[in-house]
Chain A
């Protein structure tokens, strides 16, 4: 019997007021410690699905469970505070110094100052930023540095689950490779559960334990990279893999 999933989506659907369906019933389960990548074109519903996990979007039907509990029974604010989040471009708060950005969630959770400071130092070290950079403003950093800060911020309160929405999308190729390597290090080091949204299949193959392919609001296939490569369950998936090989 598999361990209890940390995150579950059952028949999750999202239909907007104008009738467009962003999600047409998606079911998946994420096990503790694994990294699941959601890949697909823009408009496939992958970001919408991700956002139902921390209740940034409420599904029109279906259930999302975190550690077995439907999220609708959780206070959304408390839920978000114990779920890490890294958006594209970092989403750092521009008028706060790096250290203040990093200690955001610990501060919201009411940690005392010394503990926050210690944790911030630790996190910056973890993502490879110097103490001098802690007192910079986001605008004074490079894109890669900003994204590292965003990772440090997402990890600061030690959440079991981290949601990543195209976190490497806006970086140049070299920086992206550098951050990929760091992500894998962190992953083996920290053992966090992560859901990674990306449109880059190569990235998914590099970073994820399992890959879910989405199209038009549906999850076409979910499995380890090797399984996808060998037994594509859908013509679209095989076409996608062809594209990657080519």
Chain B
């Protein structure tokens, strides 16, 4: 028992910040607007309260965020009322913004003691947009106006939008829309196509910055077909009880943002690749909730070359590398502590060996993202579930190599040692384990490389590490940022492999010929 304590200590240390008393954790989903809003929450809380704020930005999607909130891994994150109604409560969208808000408010309070604070003032819902020039020529303000002229227009819609009842199908019924032709397009291509006037109408999110860039006009949904997606802060009731000031401070944001403002902010994030830290500060300034200066350092501008980017981000990368190593090391250490004894036990109870090793092998084939997602309902988000998932991946190579290494260790020598009066324990300690050590080490080495590689995905559940710039970079289509995570992660795997290779070699007992 005694020697396990340092590891539990390490885990506690890694997860402790989540539970410290005067700390709140702000989360976000993994797209620009969600990160921006979360950063605004964080900066506002930092400047107007004494709370320590921790950021867990870029969690993978609604389910992850909401599970994290319920479990207390995060305290607040920006959510949309329509998402709350349809995705979380699983209800049909009906009624206007107020009805939707009232519905999710009461249900979330009743079921989970989770509070919807006052909406921020804008919606980010599905809308139909047309080129401004077309709107002016045909005097289009609403979708009803569009239906009037749609027979002569080409529509270009996303794959998902085309197939859904709350997408094009329902829209056509509600408004009697009939296009001359309809193309199914990727989102990025839709905007290009609209610019070149290959298509005349497209589905958009109402606060997408590209609406400005591509000169598009959003048509009003005058028959309230699309469910309202009002943005608001979603907060844990327990946190509000402990820190009532949090509700008051975040309440300052109620009704303070509109779609035009959000499009402009999103544009800066999406196309100009500015940092959400800077944009959030400007946004707070623009609505008069100035944050004190010097709070967040100005990050490097996002468009320099890769090397300059690396240099600018060196301090962050150092921290992330340490975090990455910490996650991997904790998982590997726990893996070794569990898997080596298990391998030895299986060698003594061989009828279980096949089954156990096969089950561990099966676990190995679970896709990493799926495994991480399974962890969330059980362990929330952050370092702990990531370590557990990585731990699971580390087991198979270690158990298998320990088992076969000890089982196949020089049978003649083992037999002779036994026949001359060594006890089973002595043969294990003095003969079989030393002979198996290079195999056990090779298993550990495989596990280490898997762990270091897979740990990049831990960023999806907010555990940090070198996956963080990769995940964010993918969202922002910023290759320098992606590389700033991917290259150190690859180097790290190489270094760890080389290091353990050296240990493996030095553990090879003297007197043994190279077994390959």
User: Which A residues lie at the B interface, using CB under 8 A?
Assistant: 54, 56, 77-81, 85, 87, 89-97, 104-105, 108, 137-140, 150, 153-154, 163
Please state if B419 and A54 are interface contacts (CB–CB under 8 Å): yes
Q: Report if B218 contacts A (CB, 8 A).
A: no
Picked from A91, A137, A139, the residue with its CB within 8 Å of the CB of B416 is A91
A95–B436 Cα distance when bound, in Å, is: 11
Q: What residues of chain A lie closer than 8 Å to B289, measured between beta carbons?
A: none
Q: Beyond the given A78-B421, A94-B435, A150-B416, please list 13 additional residue pairs across the A-B interface where CB-CB is below 8 A.
A: A56-B418, A87-B419, A89-B412, A91-B412, A91-B413, A93-B410, A93-B430, A94-B413, A94-B509, A105-B420, A108-B421, A137-B511, A139-B512
In the bound complex, residues from chain A placing their C-beta under 8 Å from that of B417 are 91, 93, 104
On whether the beta carbons of B512 and A94 are closer than 8 Å, the reply is: yes
Across the interface, name the chain A residue whose C-beta is closest to B419: A85
Interface hub of A104, A105, A163 (most chain B Cβ within 10 A): A104
Q: Complex Cα distance A94/B419, Å?
A: 16
A residues in contact with B416, CB < 8 Å: 85, 87, 90-93, 150
Question: Is the pair B415, A87 in contact by a Cβ cutoff of 8 Å?
Answer: yes
Interface status of B513 (Cβ within 8 A of chain A) = yes
Q: Which of A77, A95, A153 has the most CB of B within 10 A?
A: A95
In the bound complex, residues from chain B placing their C-beta under 8 Å from that of A77 are 421, 423
| Known A77-B421, A80-B420, A85-B420: A139·B513 in contact at CB below 8 Å | yes
Q: Which of B422, B426, B430, B511 contacts A94 (CB 8 A)?
A: B511
| In the assembled complex, B488 has its CB within 8 A of some CB on chain A | no
Contact indicator A108/B413 (Cβ below 8 Å)? no
- 9 shortest interchain CB distances as A-B pairs: A91-B416, A137-B511, A95-B509, A81-B421, A80-B421, A85-B419, A91-B412, A93-B413, A95-B511
B188 touches A (CB below 8 Å): no
Could you say which residues of chain B place their CB within 8 Å of the CB of A81? 420-421
Could you list 18 A-B pairs, sorted by A, with CB under 8 Å?
A56-B419, A80-B419, A80-B421, A89-B412, A90-B416, A91-B415, A91-B417, A92-B413, A92-B416, A93-B416, A93-B430, A93-B431, A94-B512, A95-B512, A97-B511, A104-B417, A104-B420, A108-B426
Residues of B within 8 A of A (CB): 410, 412-413, 415-423, 426, 430-431, 434-435, 509-513
Q: Which residue of A lies closest to B511 (CB)?
A: A137
- Smallest Cβ distance from A217 to chain B, in angstroms? 22
A-B contact count (CB 8 A): 71
Distance, CA A81 to CA B423, complexed state (A): 10
Chain B contact residues: helix, strand, loop or mixed: helix
Contact A137 to B413, CB < 8 A, known contacts A81-B420, A95-B435:
no
**Contact at B422–A108, with CB atoms within 8 Å?**
yes
Residues of B within 8 A of A139 (CB): 511-513
B409 to chain A, nearest CB (A): 10
Residue of B nearest to A165 (CB): B419
A89 to B416, CA, bound (A): 10
Instruction: Give A132 to B511 CA distance when docked, in angstroms.
Output: 16
| Chain A residue, CB-CB nearest to B412 | A91
Most interface-central of B410, B417, B420, B422 (chain A CB within 10 A): B420
Cα distance A104–B510 in the bound complex, in angstroms: 18
Cβ contacts under 8 Å, A95 to chain B:
434-435, 509-512
What CA separation (Å) do A150 and B413 show in the bound complex?
11
Q: Tell me the smallest distance from the CB of A164 to a CB of chain B, in Å.
A: 11
List of B residues within 8 angstroms of A138 by Cβ: 511
A139 to B514, CA, bound (A): 11
- For B510, what are the chain A residues with a Cβ–Cβ distance below 8 Å? 95, 137
Chain A min CB distance to B406 (Å): 14
User: Chain B nearest CB: distance from A165 CB in Å?
Assistant: 9
Interface core residue of B421, B422, B434 (most chain A CB under 10 Å): B421
Q: How far is the CB of B428 from chain A (nearest CB, A)?
A: 13
Say how far B355's CB is from chain A's closest CB, in angstroms: 22
In Å, the complex CA distance between A56 and B426 comes to 16
Taking the closest CB of chain A, its distance from the CB of B217, in whole angstroms, is 79
Q: Tell me, in angstroms, the Cα distance from A96 to B412 when the chains sit together.
A: 14
Distance (Å) between the CB of B227 and the closest chain A CB? 70
Question: When the two chains form their complex, are residues A94 and B421 in contact, meaning their CB atoms are under 8 A apart?
Answer: no
Residues of A within 8 A of B430 (CB): 93
Looking across the interface, which residue of chain B has its beta carbon closest to that of A109?
Answer: B421
Shortest beta-carbon distance, B86 to chain A, in Å? 64
Whole-angstrom distance between the Cβ of A98 and the nearest chain B Cβ: 10
